[in-house]
Amino acid sequence: MREASPYGSTFPLYLHDGFNLWKFSDFVHKRQDFVVQDYHSYYVFTPSDASTPASTHSENVEQGISQMLTNASGNQRRNLVVDEWSCALTTQSLSSERNPGEARRRFCTGQMGVYATAAAGWSFWGTISLEHTFWSLTEGVNSLQEGRL
């Protein structure tokens, strides 16, 4: 792509890491052109994620994930973004919480704070999802504002 046109050398290349943060960290570190690693963060797809309480997910994000992203970002001259994340949690993750709405709120706002601080930026998974509220930024924000969490 860099050689396809004179503009190719200035066009930013975003490289998804395949859910392995360190896989391309050194590669991005060694590049002098505009290459950015794109990390995706989800907590619903594995049996382990499904059974982990929401509060534990929040603690993991605020501590271990935060440190991991900070370290990777520092290695890459901050050429790291979290370009997909959501507030989605499984029913099982929320079932052990005393206040599921507050647990989800902490999970959402915790991710937002960590990703804004540890990386060069973030973007939510989608603006609108007709089937899954917490995959939708619009519905998630509305739910938070209206106290429906």
pLDDT at 8: 79
Q: Are 47 and 77 in contact (CB under 8 A)?
A: no
For the chain, the domains span 6-145
Q: For residues 9 and 29, what is the distance between their CA atoms, to the nearest angstrom?
A: 17
Which residues of the chain are modeled with pLDDT < 70?
A: 126-138, 140-141, 143-144, 147-149
Look up the pTM and report it.
0.83
pLDDT at 148: 60
pLDDT at 146: 72
The radius of gyration of the chain's CA atoms, rounded to the nearest angstrom, is: 17
